[in-house]
Amino acid sequence: MGKKTNVAIAIAAAAGAAWASTKALSKPLSRTAKEALEYNQPIILAHRGGSALAPECSPSAFENAAKLGVHGFEIDIRLTKDEEIVVFHDEYTGRVTNLTGRVSDYTLEEIKKADLGFHFLDLNGENSFRDCGEQIMTLGELLDKYPQMLINLDIKDAPQSYEGSLMPSKLWRLLDEKQALQRVVVTSFYDEQIDRFNLYAQNTVALGAGEREVRKAYTAFTSQFKHLYHPKADVFQIPVRSNMFPLDSASFIKFLTSLNIPVHYWTIDDPVVMRKLIDNGAKGIITDRPDLAIEALKLD
CATH number at residue 97: 3.20.20.190
- Which ranges in the chain belong to alpha helices (H)? 3-25, 59-68, 108-111, 139-145, 162-177, 191-201, 211-221, 250-257, 271-279, 290-297
78 beta partners = 86
Instruction: Answer yes or no: are the C-beta atoms of 171 and 197 closer than 8 Å.
Output: yes
State how far the alpha carbon of 45 is from the alpha carbons of 70, 74, 121, 264, 290, in Å. Answer: 6, 6, 21, 9, 8
Residue 35 in domain:
no
Q: What is the largest CA-CA distance in the chain?
A: 82
Amino acid found at 274: M
Q: Are strands 241-242 and 245-246 parallel, antiparallel or unpaired?
A: antiparallel
Portion of the chain with pLDDT greater than 70, in percent:
90
3-class SS of residue 146? coil
H helices then E strands: how many in the chain?
10, 11
pLDDT at 114: 97
Residue 36 in domain:
no
pLDDT at 28: 62
Domain that holds residue 222: 41-297
Structural domains in the chain (count): 1
Per-chain mean pLDDT for the chain: 91
Other CB atoms within 10 A of residue 72 CB:
24
Q: What is the pLDDT of residues 87-145, one digit of tens each?
A: 999 999 999 999 999 999 999 999 999 999 999 999 999 999 999 999 999 999 999 99
pLDDT at 30: 78
Distance in angstroms (rounded) separating the CA atoms of residues 214 and 225: 16
Residue 54 in domain:
yes
